Amino acid sequence: MQCHPLFDLNGKVALVTGGTHGLGMAMAEGLASAGARIVVNGQSSQEKIDAAVTHYRERGFDAYGYRFDVCDPAQVEAAVGRIEAEVGPIDILVNNAGIIKRIPLLEMALDDWEQVIRTDLTSVFVVSKSVVKRMIERGAGKVINICSMMSELGRDSVGAYAAAKGGLKMLTRNMATEWARHNIQVNGIGPGYFATSQTAPIRVPGNPLNEFIIQRTPAGKWGDPADLQGAAIFLASSASNFVTGQILYVDGGILATIGRPQGE
Protein backbone atom coordinates (compact mmCIF):
# COMPACT_ATOMS: atom_id res chain seq x y z
CA MET A 1 0.00 0.00 0.00
CA GLN A 2 1.47 3.32 -1.09
CA CYS A 3 1.71 6.18 1.37
CA HIS A 4 -0.48 9.20 0.62
CA PRO A 5 1.78 11.95 -0.81
CA LEU A 6 0.87 14.33 2.02
CA PHE A 7 2.29 11.89 4.57
CA ASP A 8 5.25 10.66 2.53
CA LEU A 9 8.57 11.21 4.36
CA ASN A 10 10.85 9.61 1.78
CA GLY A 11 14.05 11.60 1.43
CA LYS A 12 13.62 13.24 4.83
CA VAL A 13 16.03 12.94 7.77
CA ALA A 14 14.52 12.87 11.25
CA LEU A 15 16.48 13.32 14.48
CA VAL A 16 14.69 11.83 17.49
CA THR A 17 16.38 12.60 20.80
CA GLY A 18 15.96 9.86 23.37
CA GLY A 19 14.93 7.55 20.55
CA THR A 20 16.63 4.43 21.88
CA HIS A 21 13.60 3.12 23.79
CA GLY A 22 10.00 3.67 24.82
CA LEU A 23 7.79 6.28 23.24
CA GLY A 24 10.71 7.86 21.39
CA MET A 25 11.44 4.55 19.68
CA ALA A 26 7.77 4.12 18.77
CA MET A 27 7.62 7.56 17.15
CA ALA A 28 10.90 6.99 15.33
CA GLU A 29 9.53 3.73 13.95
CA GLY A 30 6.45 5.59 12.75
CA LEU A 31 8.53 8.20 10.94
CA ALA A 32 10.70 5.47 9.44
CA SER A 33 7.63 3.54 8.25
CA ALA A 34 6.62 6.66 6.29
CA GLY A 35 10.02 6.67 4.60
CA ALA A 36 12.20 8.89 6.79
CA ARG A 37 15.84 8.17 7.48
CA ILE A 38 16.04 8.23 11.27
CA VAL A 39 18.80 9.36 13.58
CA VAL A 40 18.40 8.53 17.26
CA ASN A 41 20.27 10.08 20.13
CA GLY A 42 21.15 8.73 23.54
CA GLN A 43 23.51 9.61 26.35
CA SER A 44 23.76 6.56 28.62
CA SER A 45 25.98 4.22 26.58
CA GLN A 46 27.10 3.55 23.05
CA GLU A 47 25.98 -0.07 23.48
CA LYS A 48 22.40 1.02 24.06
CA ILE A 49 22.50 3.27 21.01
CA ASP A 50 23.97 0.49 18.87
CA ALA A 51 21.28 -1.92 20.08
CA ALA A 52 18.57 0.56 19.12
CA VAL A 53 20.05 1.07 15.66
CA THR A 54 20.19 -2.71 15.20
CA HIS A 55 16.53 -2.91 16.26
CA TYR A 56 15.53 -0.38 13.59
CA ARG A 57 17.66 -1.90 10.84
CA GLU A 58 16.33 -5.39 11.51
CA ARG A 59 12.91 -3.97 10.67
CA GLY A 60 14.19 -2.60 7.38
CA PHE A 61 14.56 1.02 8.46
CA ASP A 62 17.45 3.31 7.52
CA ALA A 63 18.74 4.24 10.97
CA TYR A 64 21.77 5.85 12.63
CA GLY A 65 22.73 6.56 16.22
CA TYR A 66 24.77 9.31 17.88
CA ARG A 67 25.75 9.70 21.50
CA PHE A 68 25.69 13.22 22.93
CA ASP A 69 24.33 15.19 25.88
CA VAL A 70 21.29 17.21 24.75
CA CYS A 71 21.97 19.72 27.54
CA ASP A 72 25.52 20.52 26.40
CA PRO A 73 25.59 23.16 23.62
CA ALA A 74 29.09 22.21 22.45
CA GLN A 75 28.25 18.50 22.20
CA VAL A 76 24.96 19.26 20.46
CA GLU A 77 26.53 21.57 17.90
CA ALA A 78 29.27 19.06 17.12
CA ALA A 79 26.79 16.17 16.81
CA VAL A 80 24.36 18.09 14.59
CA GLY A 81 27.25 19.05 12.32
CA ARG A 82 28.31 15.40 12.08
CA ILE A 83 24.78 14.18 11.43
CA GLU A 84 24.24 16.66 8.62
CA ALA A 85 27.61 15.77 7.07
CA GLU A 86 27.29 11.99 7.46
CA VAL A 87 23.55 11.32 7.12
CA GLY A 88 22.02 14.42 5.59
CA PRO A 89 20.33 17.71 6.47
CA ILE A 90 17.90 17.34 9.36
CA ASP A 91 14.37 18.01 8.10
CA ILE A 92 12.50 16.82 11.20
CA LEU A 93 13.49 17.28 14.83
CA VAL A 94 11.66 15.39 17.57
CA ASN A 95 12.65 16.71 21.00
CA ASN A 96 11.77 13.64 23.03
CA ALA A 97 14.61 13.24 25.56
CA GLY A 98 13.44 13.72 29.12
CA ILE A 99 13.42 12.49 32.71
CA ILE A 100 11.03 12.51 35.63
CA LYS A 101 11.76 12.51 39.36
CA ARG A 102 8.80 11.66 41.57
CA ILE A 103 9.67 13.68 44.67
CA PRO A 104 7.31 15.96 46.63
CA LEU A 105 8.32 19.58 46.20
CA LEU A 106 9.11 20.16 49.89
CA GLU A 107 11.47 17.18 49.81
CA MET A 108 13.09 17.93 46.47
CA ALA A 109 16.70 19.09 46.41
CA LEU A 110 17.57 22.02 44.17
CA ASP A 111 19.96 19.82 42.19
CA ASP A 112 17.14 17.40 41.36
CA TRP A 113 14.83 20.26 40.37
CA GLU A 114 17.45 21.80 38.10
CA GLN A 115 18.30 18.46 36.47
CA VAL A 116 14.66 17.92 35.47
CA ILE A 117 14.24 21.47 34.16
CA ARG A 118 17.54 21.27 32.29
CA THR A 119 16.78 17.90 30.68
CA ASP A 120 13.08 18.38 29.89
CA LEU A 121 13.03 22.07 28.95
CA THR A 122 16.44 23.66 28.49
CA SER A 123 17.66 20.82 26.26
CA VAL A 124 14.85 21.58 23.79
CA PHE A 125 16.11 25.15 23.54
CA VAL A 126 19.70 23.95 23.09
CA VAL A 127 19.03 21.28 20.44
CA SER A 128 16.48 23.34 18.55
CA LYS A 129 18.82 26.32 18.24
CA SER A 130 21.47 24.17 16.62
CA VAL A 131 19.11 22.37 14.25
CA VAL A 132 16.76 25.22 13.37
CA LYS A 133 19.44 27.68 12.32
CA ARG A 134 20.28 25.18 9.58
CA MET A 135 16.60 24.67 8.72
CA ILE A 136 16.27 28.44 8.30
CA GLU A 137 19.10 28.43 5.77
CA ARG A 138 17.19 25.79 3.77
CA GLY A 139 13.82 27.48 4.18
CA ALA A 140 11.89 24.58 5.70
CA GLY A 141 11.67 22.30 8.71
CA LYS A 142 9.50 20.50 11.24
CA VAL A 143 10.01 20.55 15.01
CA ILE A 144 7.97 18.31 17.31
CA ASN A 145 8.33 18.83 21.06
CA ILE A 146 7.13 16.01 23.30
CA CYS A 147 4.99 17.67 25.92
CA SER A 148 2.73 15.90 28.41
CA MET A 149 -0.66 15.96 30.07
CA MET A 150 1.39 17.60 32.83
CA SER A 151 1.63 20.56 30.45
CA GLU A 152 -2.00 21.11 31.50
CA LEU A 153 -2.58 19.31 34.80
CA GLY A 154 -0.88 19.05 38.17
CA ARG A 155 -0.25 15.86 40.11
CA ASP A 156 1.41 14.90 43.37
CA SER A 157 5.19 14.50 43.39
CA VAL A 158 5.91 15.61 39.79
CA GLY A 159 6.18 19.38 40.30
CA ALA A 160 9.50 19.79 38.50
CA TYR A 161 8.35 17.66 35.56
CA ALA A 162 5.05 19.56 35.31
CA ALA A 163 6.87 22.89 35.48
CA ALA A 164 9.20 21.79 32.67
CA LYS A 165 6.41 20.41 30.49
CA GLY A 166 4.22 23.46 31.10
CA GLY A 167 7.17 25.61 30.07
CA LEU A 168 7.70 23.41 27.02
CA LYS A 169 4.14 24.06 25.88
CA MET A 170 4.80 27.81 25.90
CA LEU A 171 8.26 27.42 24.40
CA THR A 172 6.62 25.49 21.55
CA ARG A 173 4.23 28.36 20.91
CA ASN A 174 7.00 30.94 21.00
CA MET A 175 9.20 28.90 18.67
CA ALA A 176 6.24 28.63 16.30
CA THR A 177 5.72 32.40 16.45
CA GLU A 178 9.35 33.24 15.69
CA TRP A 179 10.04 30.62 13.03
CA ALA A 180 6.80 30.44 11.03
CA ARG A 181 8.12 33.16 8.71
CA HIS A 182 10.93 30.76 7.74
CA ASN A 183 8.49 27.96 6.78
CA ILE A 184 9.28 26.02 9.93
CA GLN A 185 6.35 24.47 11.79
CA VAL A 186 6.74 23.81 15.53
CA ASN A 187 4.16 21.70 17.33
CA GLY A 188 3.92 19.42 20.34
CA ILE A 189 2.59 15.98 21.15
CA GLY A 190 1.19 15.39 24.63
CA PRO A 191 1.06 11.65 25.40
CA GLY A 192 -1.38 10.27 27.93
CA TYR A 193 -0.73 7.06 29.87
CA PHE A 194 1.02 4.47 27.74
CA ALA A 195 1.94 0.83 28.18
CA THR A 196 5.74 0.83 28.28
CA SER A 197 8.42 -1.00 30.23
CA GLN A 198 8.45 1.91 32.68
CA THR A 199 4.74 1.56 33.45
CA ALA A 200 4.76 -2.26 33.56
CA PRO A 201 4.95 -2.43 37.40
CA ILE A 202 1.79 -0.29 37.57
CA ARG A 203 -0.20 -2.16 34.93
CA VAL A 204 -1.08 -5.05 37.21
CA PRO A 205 -4.71 -6.07 37.76
CA GLY A 206 -5.76 -4.96 41.22
CA ASN A 207 -3.20 -2.17 41.44
CA PRO A 208 -5.20 0.92 42.51
CA LEU A 209 -3.23 3.22 40.21
CA ASN A 210 -3.79 0.90 37.25
CA GLU A 211 -7.51 0.86 37.96
CA PHE A 212 -7.59 4.63 38.42
CA ILE A 213 -5.91 5.29 35.07
CA ILE A 214 -8.25 2.93 33.22
CA GLN A 215 -11.28 4.47 34.90
CA ARG A 216 -10.00 8.03 34.33
CA THR A 217 -9.41 7.44 30.61
CA PRO A 218 -12.59 7.60 28.49
CA ALA A 219 -11.07 5.07 26.08
CA GLY A 220 -10.90 2.70 29.06
CA LYS A 221 -7.34 1.48 28.51
CA TRP A 222 -3.66 2.35 28.45
CA GLY A 223 -2.33 3.67 25.16
CA ASP A 224 -0.19 1.52 22.90
CA PRO A 225 3.08 3.31 21.97
CA ALA A 226 2.15 2.75 18.32
CA ASP A 227 -0.80 5.09 18.90
CA LEU A 228 1.67 7.99 18.80
CA GLN A 229 2.91 7.18 15.31
CA GLY A 230 0.08 8.81 13.40
CA ALA A 231 0.45 12.08 15.29
CA ALA A 232 4.21 12.08 14.70
CA ILE A 233 3.85 11.38 10.98
CA PHE A 234 1.20 14.07 10.60
CA LEU A 235 3.26 16.76 12.35
CA ALA A 236 6.43 15.74 10.48
CA SER A 237 4.82 15.72 7.03
CA SER A 238 3.53 18.26 4.53
CA ALA A 239 0.01 17.42 5.74
CA SER A 240 0.66 19.86 8.61
CA ASN A 241 2.27 22.68 6.62
CA PHE A 242 -0.23 25.26 7.92
CA VAL A 243 -0.35 23.86 11.46
CA THR A 244 2.00 25.44 13.95
CA GLY A 245 2.05 26.28 17.65
CA GLN A 246 -0.38 23.47 18.51
CA ILE A 247 -0.18 20.71 21.13
CA LEU A 248 -1.81 17.47 19.98
CA TYR A 249 -2.80 15.42 23.03
CA VAL A 250 -2.86 11.68 22.42
CA ASP A 251 -4.47 10.65 25.68
CA GLY A 252 -7.57 8.55 25.05
CA GLY A 253 -9.74 11.52 26.04
CA ILE A 254 -8.43 12.25 29.54
CA LEU A 255 -8.14 16.00 29.06
CA ALA A 256 -11.61 16.17 27.51
CA THR A 257 -13.44 15.22 30.69
CA ILE A 258 -13.36 15.44 34.48
CA GLY A 259 -14.05 11.71 34.64
CA ARG A 260 -14.75 8.72 32.48
CA PRO A 261 -18.48 8.24 31.86
CA GLN A 262 -19.78 5.24 33.80
CA GLY A 263 -21.35 2.41 31.83
CA GLU A 264 -24.89 1.35 32.40
Contact 13, 37 (CB under 8 A): yes
Distances, alpha carbon 255 to alpha carbons 27, 110, 132, 192, 260, in Å? 21, 30, 31, 9, 10
Q: How many Å apart are CA 1 and CA 34, to the nearest integer? A: 11
Packing angle of the helix pair 110-117, 159-179 (nearest 10 deg): 30
Distance CA 95, CA 189 (A): 10
Q: Answer yes or no: are the C-beta atoms of 30 and 7 closer than 8 Å.
A: no
Q: Distance from first CA to last CA of the chain, Å, rounded?
A: 41
Whether residue 249 lies in the annotated active site: no
How far is the C-alpha of 241 from the C-alpha of 122, rounded, in Å? 26
- Active-site hit among 64, 161, 193, 249: 161
**Residues with catalytic function:** 161
